[in-house]
Amino acid sequence: MSVLPGPIRQIGYVVTDLDEAIASWVELGVGSKSYLALRDAIREHYFRFYPVTPAARAEHPFNPGMGNVGTLCCEPKVVLRVIEALLGPCESRGLLTVMRGWRALAADVVGDRITSVAFAEIASGHRRTIVARIDVDATETGDLLELAGVEHVLGGEARTETGEPNALDVADPFDQQSATWCMALDYLPDENHTIEKPARYREFRELKLDCWPNRQFHWTVSDHVTHKPLQRRLFAGDSDEPYLFDLWHARRIAWRRNFAPGSYPSDISIANWPQMDYWLRPLVGVSAPSGRRCNATACPSAPIGRQPNERIGALEPRFRMPKHMSGHSTPNVRHPKRSRRAAAERVRSGPAAAARRSRSLLRHGPSWV
């Protein structure tokens, strides 16, 4: 149990599940005005352009997907449309330039200040250097922290550093949480979307790690609080139920019952399950070739399926990626969960720190083979 200080505590909550509590606080207006406005705009987009049922419109807060993990589980393309609409006026006035399909290559640093960042366009290789007063790293793996030499932490910290009772005795930067390649799936019981078994399918089907209570492709998982074995199936009942404690309902982003009959052939749920976590190699803090091998091995080449009452392991014909979600914004994306964390408690000083430096993207760490 946790109790947060200050204004949060004054709301009157006794916190037992921090993630669920934060979702509830957001609906009470605890958050930045711009983020709350974004959430309102997403719901308004659904009400304006989607055939939301009167019953769903009356629900507060309206949750398009009725996913268990939050009070606003929705389709990524809807969020993208809303964000682009919010940014549109600034783009039209020339106050904002959005560059899509670029990656950071290097950062120039003077003292403790980033003076410029060099980028390359992924499609063409064209390079461009940008000078800004403020640089914000919103990458999923903290790329700018490494490029700029910002003090940061990787992996598991030691108990002596954090005071956490369950922390490691000795810090281990390669004790990293698993990476997952997420997929959006619909569920069509009367259709067949079977594909050929991908490479290394049998190997991963039988994988059993010492830290896990059963084979990874099994419904027995580790409870994230107690670490005891926990049965958590894909379906704990009717998939159309508004709430069930199962994997299908956990990250459901479209609940068809929220919309007029026929609008959605199926619910849509994000597959981000323990059965598809990849933890055999670290993803960050290693050489570029090793990171690419981790990405390539972790990325599923097919939806992982289901055998009733047993384990994930058969290629399931009833699941597919919804056709309208294919394309550049399909949520088939890497989810590293916990990557580099800034540790800006030390300030570089002295002549060496004042020297101008450029740090390459391809800095080599340990050689993982």
Q: Which amino acid is at 204?
A: F
Does a cis peptide bond (omega within 30 degrees of 0) precede residue 61? yes
pLDDT at 366: 30
Nearest CA to 166 out of 178, 155, 176, 158 is that of: 158
Give CA–CA dist 239/149, Å, rounded: 48
User: Which residue carries 């960050």 as its tokens?
Assistant: 284
pLDDT at 95: 95
pLDDT at 148: 94
Q: What are phi and psi of 52, to 5 degrees?
A: -70, 135
Give CA–CA dist 294/213, Å, rounded: 23
Question: What are the sequence ranges of the domains in the chain?
Answer: 15-90, 102-158+339-360
Q: List CB contacts of 61: < 8 A, sequence separation 6 or more.
A: 27, 43, 71, 72
Give CA–CA dist 245/235, Å, rounded: 8
Q: Are 201 and 216 in contact (CB under 8 A)?
A: no
> How sure is the predictor about 162, in pLDDT bands with cuts at 50, 70 and 90?
confident
Q: If you count them, how many residues does the chain have?
A: 369
Q: Is the pLDDT of residue 177 over 90?
A: no
> How sure is the predictor about 166, in pLDDT bands with cuts at 50, 70 and 90?
confident
Q: Which amino acid is at 3?
A: V
What Cα–Cα distance (Å) separates residue 283 from each residue in 119, 167, 230, 313? 22, 21, 27, 25
Q: Longest C-alpha distance within the chain, in Å? A: 70
DSSP element (H, E) containing 351: helix 351-354
pLDDT at 276: 86
Higher pLDDT, 15 or 291: 291
pLDDT at 20: 63
Give CA–CA dist 46/3, Å, rounded: 35
pLDDT at 17: 55
Q: Are 167 and 145 in contact (CB under 8 A)?
A: no
Higher pLDDT, 294 or 140: 140
The pLDDT tens digits for 72-92 are: 999 999 999 999 999 999 999
> How sure is the predictor about 361, in pLDDT bands with cuts at 50, 70 and 90?
very low
Higher pLDDT, 362 or 108: 108
The pLDDT tens digits for 96-106 are: 999 999 999 99
Mean pLDDT of the 130-147 span: 91
The pLDDT tens digits for 189-239 are: 888 888 888 888 888 889 998 889 999 889 999 988 888 999 999 999 999
